[in-house]
Amino acid sequence: MVDGNGRLVPATDDELMEVEGLLENEKRETHIVADTGQALGCISNEVSPSGMPQLESSEGLSQSENTEADTEKLSAYLEETVPSGAKSSSDDHVTQSGRVGECLKPLDGPLEGGSSTSTGCISSKPDFSKLKGEICLDNLSIKELHEVFKATFGRDTTVKDKLWLKRRIAMGLTNSCDVSATTFVIKDNKLVKKDNEDGFNNVNLGAGKEHLAVAVEYNEDLLNNLSSQIDEHQTTSEVRLGNNVVENNFASEDLAADQRAAKRVRKPTKRYIEELSEAESKEYSGRSIASTKSIGFRPLSSKAHARPARNVSLEGRTVITRLDSLGGFGIQVPCVYRIRRSRPRKNVTALLKFHPSGMGMTATFIKKGFDVHGSQMDNGSMNKVLEAKSTPEQAPEQFVAESKKETTPTDMGQNMGLKYVDPSGDTSDDNVVTVPTAKGGIRRKHHRAWTLSEVMKLVEGVSKYGAGRWSEIKRLAFASYSYRTSVDLKDKWRNLLKASFAQTPTDKGANSRKHPSMPIPASILLRVRELAEMQAQASLPNLSTGKLSACGGGSVNETRPGYL
């Protein structure tokens, strides 16, 4: 969106999102770090009673100060040299600036060291981090984070960066947008995110408690509503943001991002490049489909500029990649990343072999730790969820308000790719493998595990637009994910239906026990069932209604009032 100094190109939604995300991230990190120092003790335990009050205060703070404060903080952070942030930040927000100073140390240490224990909370803002889900993520070890990651996205990740993992997970659980999107109101996001996560965990455990289920559902609904609202307001907010905030912060953000990347990510340049290229290509495709067709090369130029680029070579590559994706004529370039694309898994494996020190180990633990951690996490999450119940009320309002401002339901995938390259290539692009078989070119798509967020989006889309309007759903609700064709959506929905109906009856033992492999968010299934019922009613009022209702009534919850 920004070319050189000014912004030549109209910012696309995605791009804006990215920027926002960056800002958000920066800000968040700062806050988090600071908070960590202050409230670490609280976090470790359960929720402290005092937490609530603090939360409120934090909200007010964040809302009012946000724009200015964040920027200032950011700058302070960047400077690193001046921990106290005496300069600009001191104005109104003495407290915050002070924190910023504190955070600097912790932040740098862990990141550089890489192995250092707990950096603090990733996603959290300072105050409420104590309360909520943040805590969970924070306390988790990398190993555990990997586990969660896998549960959330359905795949392993080689990323060792805790922060990254946390954020990613949070995004996934939040249904994507929230985490990256909210510049100002982190709190809401946090809450929401946290709730979801908790719910998720609980479901998996299958404690068999009705209350839990209810709570989860409630949260989800909230989330969905929020997200939908966000969608509506997306355009508006983006524009606003772009004019005001982005401009100011953009440069600094970028720098910060780069710095951070350098510190925490020690991955092969190659990978980085690849990811970048992928993200771009995706974005491009998404762009054309979703909003503007006219923009052909803009994305490209914007991207290149956006990334200050640490290495010349890197930049050059990026450009090339883009060309390839765009025109399809860049023949030479493709080979580099193509390799990886074709064989994602295999490549990963190969990487592991080559770099036994880092990745190989990680992979090992993940498997190992899965079961063990599951129990721990679940227990912890349960408590949290219960507590969370009280919070929801306040969350919605703010969140909504925030959403208007910020927004960004775009895709996390792109954002992620740009910000931090994802080694595993989760969101951005796994690989669409093209297998050149003897036959003449079979394109095997290499299964892409459906993430929780994706499923949630799908469900939402169906609820909104109705099942069978897959193209609509794909375009509107699902614009973020470039892969996932309408057919895919349909198939997934079919599976979900099947699963939901199959599983409904046994609430207690059977359903909960399914810790292995792919976790099945029970709440989601429930919703799926509801939707299915509704649709069935719509189409075949008489016959099917009776059938379905009879079926559904017996088991879990009936239809939820007021949704859709």
Distance between CA 119 and CA 170 in Å, rounded?
16
Tell me the residue type at 68.
Answer: E
Q: Does 443 interact with DNA (rule: CB under 7 A)?
A: yes
Q: Does 442 interact with DNA (rule: CB under 7 A)?
A: yes
Stretch that binds DNA, among 30-38, 53-61, 328-336, 437-445 (CB under 7 A): 437-445
In the bound state with DNA, the residue whose beta carbon lies nearer, of 181 and 525, is: 525
Structure tokens at 141: 């070890």
In the bound state with DNA, the residue whose beta carbon lies nearer, of 394 and 471, is: 471
Shortest Å distance, C-beta 469 to DNA: 5
Stretch that binds DNA, among 148-156, 218-226, 368-376, 446-454 (CB under 7 A): 446-454
Q: Does 491 interact with DNA (rule: CB under 7 A)?
A: yes
- H helices of 115-209, in order, are 133-139, 142-153, 162-174, 177-181, 186-205
Stretch that binds DNA, among 177-185, 403-411, 419-427, 442-450 (CB under 7 A): 442-450
In the bound state with DNA, the residue whose beta carbon lies nearer, of 189 and 451, is: 451
In the bound state with DNA, the residue whose beta carbon lies nearer, of 218 and 483, is: 483
Q: Does 498 interact with DNA (rule: CB under 7 A)?
A: no
Shortest Å distance, C-beta 301 to DNA: 28
Tell me the residue type at 72.
Answer: E
Distance between CA 556 and CA 217 in Å, rounded?
12
Distances (CA, A) of 96 to 1, 75, 410: 30, 13, 30
Shortest Å distance, C-beta 98 to DNA: 48
Nearest-5° Cα angle at 232, 229 to 235: 130
Among 99, 125, 155, 448, binds DNA (CB under 7 A): 448
In the bound state with DNA, the residue whose beta carbon lies nearer, of 251 and 449, is: 449
Per-residue binding string, DNA, 451-490, x by CB under 7 A, is ----------------xxxxxx----------xx-xxx-x
Place of tokens 């989006």: 457
Distance between CA 445 and CA 452 in Å, rounded?
20
Shortest Å distance, C-beta 433 to DNA: 8
Q: Does 444 interact with DNA (rule: CB under 7 A)?
A: yes
In the bound state with DNA, the residue whose beta carbon lies nearer, of 121 and 473, is: 473
Distance between CA 161 and CA 167 in Å, rounded?
10
331, 542, 344: which is closest to 424 by C-alpha?
344
Sign of CA dihedral 32, 37, 41, 42: negative
CA 429 from centroid of its chain's CA atoms: 14
Q: Does 342 interact with DNA (rule: CB under 7 A)?
A: no
Shortest Å distance, C-beta 289 to DNA: 9
Shortest Å distance, C-beta 96 to DNA: 44
Structure tokens at 550: 């009879």
Shortest Å distance, C-beta 496 to DNA: 12
In the bound state with DNA, the residue whose beta carbon lies nearer, of 228 and 486, is: 486
Please work out the total of residues on this chain that contact DNA, with binding judged by CB under 7 A: 21
Distances (CA, A) of 2 to 290, 308, 450: 21, 11, 34
Shortest Å distance, C-beta 107 to DNA: 37
**Other Cβ atoms within 10 Å of 228 Cβ, number:** 17
Q: Does 155 interact with DNA (rule: CB under 7 A)?
A: no
Question: Exposed (0-12), middle (13-18) or buried (19+): which is 556, by Cβ within 10 Å?
Answer: buried
In the bound state with DNA, the residue whose beta carbon lies nearer, of 344 and 396, is: 344
Tell me the residue type at 521.
Answer: P
Stretch that binds DNA, among 261-269, 436-444, 505-513, 547-555 (CB under 7 A): 436-444
CA torsion 346→351→356→360, rounded to 10°? -50
In the bound state with DNA, the residue whose beta carbon lies nearer, of 8 and 435, is: 435
Shortest Å distance, C-beta 487 to DNA: 5
Tell me the residue type at 337.
Answer: Y
Contacts to DNA by CB under 7 A: 442-448, 450, 467-472, 483-484, 486-488, 490-491
